[in-house]
Structure 1
Amino acid sequence: MNARTRSIERKAAGISILVALQALACAFFLADLVGDVVADGIGLHLVIEGMAAIALLVAVVLGSFQVRSLIAAARRDEAAVAAAQGAMSDLIALRFAEWQLTAAEADVALFALKGCDIAEIAALRGSAAGTVRAQLTRVYAKAGVDSQSGLIALFLEELIALPDRGPSAPLG
């Protein structure tokens, strides 16, 4: 579960508690209103109290809908992130196969895509920096790029789909 989902769930829990407290207050006010109307009849004070109770009831209903909306949004976001992660993983595997990377080259390329520099990749793989540098050079050549940023941009370019704007539409 990512930080955004946890944040939404905390907000939903907070709003749920608030809605529950509002529902209790609304039940109290409505019961008090009914008791006062039975005992004293309808007066200006009770009409105002009734309007306040109705406003509180509306807030309870709207709060409930807001909680449902937050939870649904969190679930949609989580599903979208999972789909994007799967798509990225599939795209990486496809490109690595197309480029005919060796297992070591694929491993080094994956670390490069994650933003690791040569020293970090060497430390993670337990190999020499020169070996990693040579492997990255072969990866870049097979991918048709000349740098780590070029490799990353290659994947981002395939994942970012701009809307069709037509031949003369500006990007901005």
Structure 2
Amino acid sequence: MSHPPGDLRRASLLAAALALQTLAAVFFIGDVASDYRWIGFDPHTTFEAMVALALIIGIGISALEMRRTLLRIRRAEEALSLASGAFAEVIEARFAGWGLTPAEADVALFTLKGLETSEIAALRSAAESTVRAQLTRVFAKSGAGSRAQFVALFVEDLLENARAGPDSGL
């Protein structure tokens, strides 16, 4: 499943920042421990200890933000999966409502996917003339006069659902 590029980039940047912060924190903690053993707490050691503490806090914040980003990616994947499944159900319901035969439904689905008649014929191991005849019946049953009108029937459904979605206020 594809991810929104911004989310993947953000997760990658957060992971890199988290790794860098962790390395820096380990260095400063080791340096503070070494300095404390030899010098005790002087202004320099105290400053390094505060930097190490700030880095540890930054690591925690980065880890939380990375977790939120990964959750957002997972929710987006789940929503896309649900939408894909719902659209597949819409397609199946339309095909059933039009009374398409299984062969006509296959040809119609391949047409929705953008395949040419020759490609559909090859996939179905059928003659192009058979596929053209099936497409003619699909168009007649659906009320579409062309391939573009047939696809537009489903694009309209997607656009209507997008307008009436949960964020639209309708």
TM-score of Structure 1 vs Structure 2, range by shorter chain: 0.7 to 0.9
Partner of 1:107: 106
Matched, 1:155 2:154: yes
Identity score, percent: 41
Distance 1:128 1:77 in 2: 41
Q: TM-score, normalised by structure 2?
A: 0.79
What amino acid maps onto 2:91 in structure 1? Answer: I
Offset of 1:153 from its aligned partner?
1.5
For residue 42 of structure 2, give the secondary structure of its aligned residue in structure 1.
Answer: coil
Distance 2:100 2:32 in 1: 76
Partner of 1:56: 55
Distance 1:27 1:129 in 2: 68
What amino acid maps onto 1:41 in structure 2? Answer: F
Alignment deviations for residues 112-165 of structure 1 (CA, whole Å, 9 cap, x no partner): 011111111111111121211111111111111112221111112112231568
Aligned 8 A contact 1:33 1:49 in 2: yes
Distance 1:85 1:41 in 2: 61
Q: CA RMSD in A?
A: 2.9
Partner of 2:79: 80
Comparing 106-115 and 3-12, the one that deviates more? 3-12
Offset of 1:33 from its aligned partner?
2.5
What amino acid maps onto 2:93 in structure 1? Answer: L
Distance 2:96 2:151 in 1: 17
Q: For structure 1, list consecutive stretches of 5 or more residues without a partner in the other structure.
A: 167-172
Aligned 8 A contact 2:107 2:134 in 1: yes
Alignment deviations for residues 64-83 of structure 1 (CA, whole Å, 9 cap, x no partner): 01220222122112211210
Partner of 1:170: none
For residue 94 of structure 2, give the secondary structure of its aligned residue in structure 1.
Answer: helix
Where in structure 2 are the equivalents of 1:22-37 lying within 5 Å? 22-33=21-32, 36-37=35-36
Where in structure 2 are the equivalents of 1:112-123 lying within 5 Å? 112-123=111-122
